[in-house]
Structure 1
Amino acid sequence: MSKLKLYQNIEFDQLRKIQDPSADQLVSLLIKNPELIAIINSWKEIPTKIDESYPQEFQSFFNFYLRQNEIPEDILIKGQKLFDQKGDLYLAMLGFYSLPYAYAFGDGAEVLVRSKRILSDIGRRLGETGSFILDIFEPGAFLTKKKAFLSCAKVRLIHAFSRYFISNYGTEWREDFGKPINQEDLIGTNLSFSLIVIRGWKKMGIKVSPDEVSFIMQYWKWVGRLMGINEKYWPENPKEAFALEKLIRKRHVKATDAGNQLIQALIAYYKSTIPDPLISSQVVPILNFFLGKEVSKVLGIESSVPVNGELLGLVFKFSGWKNYGGNKGYSQVARQNESNQLAVYGEKLEIKLPEFNRS
């Protein structure tokens, strides 16, 4: 059955009231038992058996990952092969299209701006996002390499931590924003990491076959399942994907102070850190090109400087060639990413749950 009938305001109004009960229940437990957070952060992957001495919420949450038997092997192999070929361009689209695009979704931006680290330490936050993408697209991820399951579980719990602190301490949170990091927000984020990446490639004249669109969307359906997203609403074909993105965009793209703060912080960061002058000197025009007139206007970053998509594609490819040489692949992208993190932060950035002492 086509999912187009589901893509209605009445359905998505309800999704704004639904979060992720399993993750939220575990975070309530972790807040009271912070020693469990340290245990999770010490893992390299989810243990093959969760000890029955752990509380039930803990067992239930992690056993969900251990019980994933119907793994879409063909889809995962194809997605990882594509990332091996275009990993640098995938990460470029996340930075120049997916993330700024999300800033225009007003109610979701209200969550992001309340995470002070995004504004005060945006580089580390972007680095952690890059580490997550590299974890889930590593050759063998979810198949022979199980770290990707833990990465999804941690990000899912980080979302739940954000919900907990906003719900309990967010005095300025308004009911009309919807519940923090609700199912619609999660679906929209997944779309920005999949469909929007594809759209960005096409804007630069990079060919993407219908089969590639299909297995990228299926890849993120699998990731979405592991991130606590209701698969009922995830599109099964390009037509449904476009309709879903259009609905969420119409519902939520609007000018907000939160979105403005986020995009200005991102622009300032890019201008000061991107080593390629061809890119760093044209940050706003490039963002304007990808985001389009409507979203750029909402974010207040309209530019009169024209950008040629195919030329921009060549610039990104040339930048990738300078960084990785002619033997570009997953290993080279991951190695360069780690090298950059070591140079800036003195450590490889890993996804970690927030640790604190019980008061």
Structure 2
Amino acid sequence: MIDTAAFEALKFQGDPLADAVIADLVATNRVGAVNAVLEHFRANDQPIPEQLPDTVREFLVATDNPPEWVDPDRVARAYDFFVDDGVHVASVLTFGAMVNCYAQPRASRALTLTHALAQPHRRLSETSQFVMNMMGRDAFGSGGAFVPTIQKTRLIHAAVRHFLGASGRWDVARDGVPICQQDMVGALLIFSVQVVEGMRRIGISVTDTEAAHYYYVWRVAGAMLGIPVEALPETVEEATELSKALVETAYGPSSEGVVLTRHLLDLYEKLFPGKVFDGIVAAMVRQVVNPEVADWMEVPHSRGWARVVTAGTGLVRALERYEDTSTLATTILDRAGALLLGGSVRTLTNGQSTTLTIPADLKERWEAAGRSPLPTEAGGTTRD
């Protein structure tokens, strides 16, 4: 049973460990120096830089390990799912999940006030890198790069809370703290159970078992992000219920959300040059998100492309039925997802090869299956 009062209380909870670190760095004027050091701190097994202040080092040590309840077998099964469908996960995440995030008025206002409005490519590339690192073979172990990603994300969120809270432009009594734990739970559900729902809307087959394993990894990530474990539903069924009952019901129109969505659409329309493809991105977004959300965010209607996208969804469903037995069907599905994500990556990074890094194990598996979203000629990089 959903505890509505407990969920509402999350609006006023930040991340005490990370918040204390940022408060110390601001008080001692060391934020810039720490940023410069942490930029080079990227691997789980990399020693913590000695030149960091004690408060930062203590935070990195305290947040270095995943929860004791983590089941490596379930994490491995989620990895296998991502190997098979990662390009489709990323496509739905970028076209659907980001719009759903903007449908949260409080979160959209925080993004706008922190100047993320003018940099949609940065937010999208950071989100993509987060997911890539999380879904690597050894994300939480010595061979991964996810732990530093988690730790730096917590510090970034704490910095936003500190500076936005001190700006006088945020009403804590009305809106709670910026990037509160309620926002964190909402984002986690958008990127996990809602992404699976979006995949199913466009005809990608995701079994209940695969959905459960994918959500499980996000639940582990949520605990490492500092979300109270009691706020994280244990099962994908409970997570779906919470998403529908409390997260999706909080969606609504806002001027900030509309503008953020427009910037997102502008960014992704660069994937399809020329006037002939005008409207295809909006049609794809409308296929993935709920119609009401699309209307609130003023996603344009395009009847012609809507019919094309709907027909394409039917084709995907037909191909999915034959994917296990048809090499042609598998190739078409994988190439479509790889093309979309590969184009997205190049757009997000402005053609640069170093911004988005696919873990080496994922890239090898995708290349072996002919489905890598970052072919060598596109400038993709891997982490050794």
When the two structures are superposed, what TM-score results if normalisation uses the length of structure 2? 0.77
Q: Give the total of aligned pairs.
A: 339
The answer to which of 53-62 and 144-153 deviates more is 53-62
Q: CA deviation at 1:221?
A: 0.6
Structure 2 vs 1, CA of residues 43 and 37 (structure 1 numbering), >3 Å: closer, same or farther? same
Tell me the SS of whatever aligns to 1:344: coil
Q: Which residue of the partner structure matches residue 197 of structure 1?
A: 195
Alpha carbon RMSD of aligned pairs, Å?
3.5
Q: CA deviation at 1:50?
A: 5.1
Tell me the SS of whatever aligns to 1:273: coil
Contact 1:89 1:317 in 2 (8 A): no
Q: Which residue of the partner structure matches residue 382 of structure 2?
A: none
Aligned mates of 2:343, 2:270 — CA distance in 1 = 18
Structure 2 vs 1, CA of residues 231 and 348 (structure 1 numbering), >3 Å: closer, same or farther? same
Q: Which residue of the partner structure matches residue 355 of structure 1?
A: none
**1:27-48, CA deviations, whole angstroms, 9 ceiling, x for partnerless residues?**
2223322322322222232566
Tell me the SS of whatever aligns to 2:257: helix
The residue correspondences of 1:228-267 to structure 2 (distance < 5 A) are 228-249=226-247, 251-267=249-265
Aligned mates of 1:339, 1:210 — CA distance in 2 = 29
Q: CA deviation at 1:109?
A: 1.2
Structure 1, gaps ≥5 residues long: 352-359
Aligned mates of 2:248, 2:142 — CA distance in 1 = 41
* Counterpart amino acid of residue 28 in structure 1: A
Q: CA deviation at 1:167?
A: 0.7
Q: Which residue of the partner structure matches residue 73 of structure 2?
A: 74
Q: Which residue of the partner structure matches residue 110 of structure 1?
A: 109
**1:173-210, CA deviations, whole angstroms, 9 ceiling, x for partnerless residues?**
46322210001100000011100110011112222111
* Counterpart amino acid of residue 87 in structure 2: D
The residue correspondences of 1:46-195 to structure 2 (distance < 5 A) are 55-68=53-66, 70=68, 71-116=70-115, 118-171=116-169, 173=171, 175-195=173-193
Aligned: 1:19 with 2:18: no
Q: Which residue of the partner structure matches residue 311 of structure 1?
A: 312
Q: Which residue of the partner structure matches residue 356 of structure 1?
A: none
Structure 2 vs 1, CA of residues 170 and 78 (structure 1 numbering), >3 Å: closer, same or farther? farther
Aligned mates of 1:207, 1:312 — CA distance in 2 = 12
The residue correspondences of 1:264-343 to structure 2 (distance < 5 A) are 264-274=262-272, 281-301=279-299, 303=301, 305=303, 306-307=306-307, 309=310, 311-312=312-313, 336=342, 340=346
* Counterpart amino acid of residue 120 in structure 2: I
Tell me the SS of whatever aligns to 1:270: helix
* Counterpart amino acid of residue 198 in structure 1: V
Structure 2 vs 1, CA of residues 285 and 106 (structure 1 numbering), >3 Å: closer, same or farther? same
Contact 2:253 2:297 in 1 (8 A): yes
Q: Which residue of the partner structure matches residue 366 of structure 2?
A: none
Q: CA deviation at 1:103?
A: 0.6
Structure 2 vs 1, CA of residues 278 and 153 (structure 1 numbering), >3 Å: closer, same or farther? farther
* Counterpart amino acid of residue 153 in structure 1: Q
Aligned mates of 2:201, 2:281 — CA distance in 1 = 16
Aligned mates of 2:316, 2:280 — CA distance in 1 = 12
Contact 1:78 1:215 in 2 (8 A): yes
Q: CA deviation at 1:236?
A: 2.0
Structure 2, gaps ≥5 residues long: 320-326, 358-384
Contact 1:293 1:302 in 2 (8 A): no
Aligned mates of 1:243, 1:278 — CA distance in 2 = 41
Sequence identity percentage: 23
Aligned mates of 1:311, 1:347 — CA distance in 2 = 31
Tell me the SS of whatever aligns to 1:45: coil
